[in-house]
Amino acid sequence: MRVLVTGGAGFIGCHLCDRLVAEGHEVVCVDSFKTGRRENVAHLLFHPEFKFVEQDITEPWFVDGPIDGVLHFASPASPEDYLQLPIHTLKVGAFGTYHALELAKAKQAVFVLASTSEVYGDPEVNPQPEGYWGHVNPVGPRSVYDEAKRYAEAMTSAYHRTHGVRIRIPRIFNTYGPHMRVNDGRALPNLMTQAILGEPLTIYGDGSHTRSFCYVSDLVEGVYRLLLAPNPEPLIVNLGNPDEVTVQQLAAEILELTGSRSEITFRPLPEDDPKVRRPDIRRAKEILGWQPVVPRDEGLRKTLPYFKEALAQLHVADRERKRLQLQAMG
């Protein structure tokens, strides 16, 4: 297959590129580096089956040659990112998705939209099945992401109904692993960074709210199965790890793993922050034969070395930046 990955230099996108190349597929990776990073795909740049296109997908764009699958994974995805890029995030969800769908339609490619558990908002049912319509504030600060993704789902569905495009919509729950941005503002990287640096761990709220963390290789396996699934009808499938944990418990596990003696401090929950979050994955099991296989202790252990290395590099870069500043000041 020749597969196009938008957001291919992002956290999940780069793992998808790796997996696709490893499986012998050709990959066209599209990224604007607004939140994706060059180092995530640097090791692929000279691979003969890998092509990189630097492109902001909110502008019109096109790609030559046949494309069998479009994995549309471009978007700011952490609250810190999308609150800093609110209008861009909205444009990626609508304009970017439109351009990606037009491409899939023209190439007769299967279209996989990276959706999110955020379409369920602050859910009133737990776990969340795919038939749940969600509980999202359309005018709150988080709506720039949540509503953009709901809109992207609506547009993707319309391309199936109107033009017969074969579509898959994985709703992705919290995912973690190497190549996350260590400072992307989400709970897990925040806590792990603070533990490694010996800083106090910050918990927003009282720590009783829950998340379900899926290790990235599990998530990639689910997306890959969706891409290859022969079903002609739309597939809307939760992908996540149903092993729900309170943020307080996660903090304790990270403290133990890192051997850190950091204290825990509490801050107010941000507006409209979901209190619980857990995927109902019965549909993924049934249709794709998929379920996560990496338990959290193993996933966290695999993630730790990456965070240590990334933080060390940040530290070196920061020191170098300060040295140059001092030099410039004479």
Query: What's the closest the beta carbon of residue 128 comes to a copy of itself, in angstroms?
Result: 13
> Nearer to a copy of itself by C-beta: 150 or 186?
150
Number of residues that bind a copy of itself (CB under 8 A): 38
Stretch binding a copy of itself (CB under 8 A), from 30-38, 64-72, 149-157, 321-329: 149-157
Stretch binding a copy of itself (CB under 8 A), from 128-136, 185-193, 223-231, 262-270: 128-136
> Nearer to a copy of itself by C-beta: 94 or 257?
94
145 is catalytic: yes
Query: What's the closest the beta carbon of residue 118 comes to a copy of itself, in angstroms?
Result: 11
Q: Collect all residues with Cβ–Cβ distance below 8 Å to 275 and sequence separation of at least 6.
A: 122, 209, 210
Nearest to 193 by CA among 176, 206, 169: 176
Instruction: Report if residue 234 touches a copy of itself, rule: CB under 8 A.
Output: yes
> Nearer to a copy of itself by C-beta: 162 or 327?
162
Instruction: Report if residue 329 touches a copy of itself, rule: CB under 8 A.
Output: no
The 3-state DSSP class for residue 168 equals strand
Strand (E) or helix (H) holding 14:
helix 11-22
How far is residue 111 CA from its own chain's centroid? 17
- Work out which of 42, 45, 106, 154 binds a copy of itself, going by CB under 8 A: 154
Give the separation between CA 101 and CA 103, rounded to whole angstroms. Answer: 5
How many H helices and E strands in the chain?
10, 14
Query: What's the closest the beta carbon of residue 86 comes to a copy of itself, in angstroms?
Result: 4
Q: Which parts of 92-111 interact with a copy of itself (CB under 8 A)?
A: 93-95, 98
Q: Collect all residues with Cβ–Cβ distance below 8 Å to 183 and sequence separation of at least 6.
A: 80, 189, 193, 314
- As given in the structure block, the two tokens for residue 126 are 């737990």
Residue found by looking up tokens 């030099």 in the block: 327
Query: What's the closest the beta carbon of residue 139 comes to a copy of itself, in angstroms?
Result: 4
> Nearer to a copy of itself by C-beta: 36 or 234?
234
Q: What angle do CA 5, 75, 273 make, to 5 degrees?
A: 140
Give the separation between CA 176 and CA 265, rounded to whole angstroms. Answer: 23
- Work out which of 55, 126, 157, 291 binds a copy of itself, going by CB under 8 A: 157
- Work out which of 25, 34, 72, 91 binds a copy of itself, going by CB under 8 A: 91
Residue found by looking up tokens 């956290």 in the block: 11
Virtual torsion, Cα 29, 34, 35, 39, nearest 10 deg: 60
**Residue 279 per-residue DSSP state:** B
Instruction: Report if residue 126 touches a copy of itself, rule: CB under 8 A.
Output: no
How far is residue 256 CA from its own chain's centroid? 26
> Nearer to a copy of itself by C-beta: 87 or 328?
87
Q: What is the largest CA-CA distance in the chain?
A: 67
The length of the chain is 330
Stretch binding a copy of itself (CB under 8 A), from 88-96, 182-190, 251-259, 296-304: 88-96
Instruction: Report if residue 169 touches a copy of itself, rule: CB under 8 A.
Output: yes
Instruction: Report if residue 235 touches a copy of itself, rule: CB under 8 A.
Output: no
Query: What's the closest the beta carbon of residue 127 comes to a copy of itself, in angstroms?
Result: 18
Instruction: Report if residue 150 touches a copy of itself, rule: CB under 8 A.
Output: yes
DSSP 79-134: HHHHHHSHHHHHHIIIIIHHHHHHHHHHHT-EEEE-EEGGGGBS-SSSSBPTT---
Pick the catalytic residue from 145, 159, 176, 215.
145
Interacting residues toward a copy of itself by CB under 8 A? 86-87, 90-91, 93-95, 98, 119, 121, 133-141, 143-144, 146-148, 150-151, 153-159, 161-162, 169, 234, 236
Catalytic residues: 145
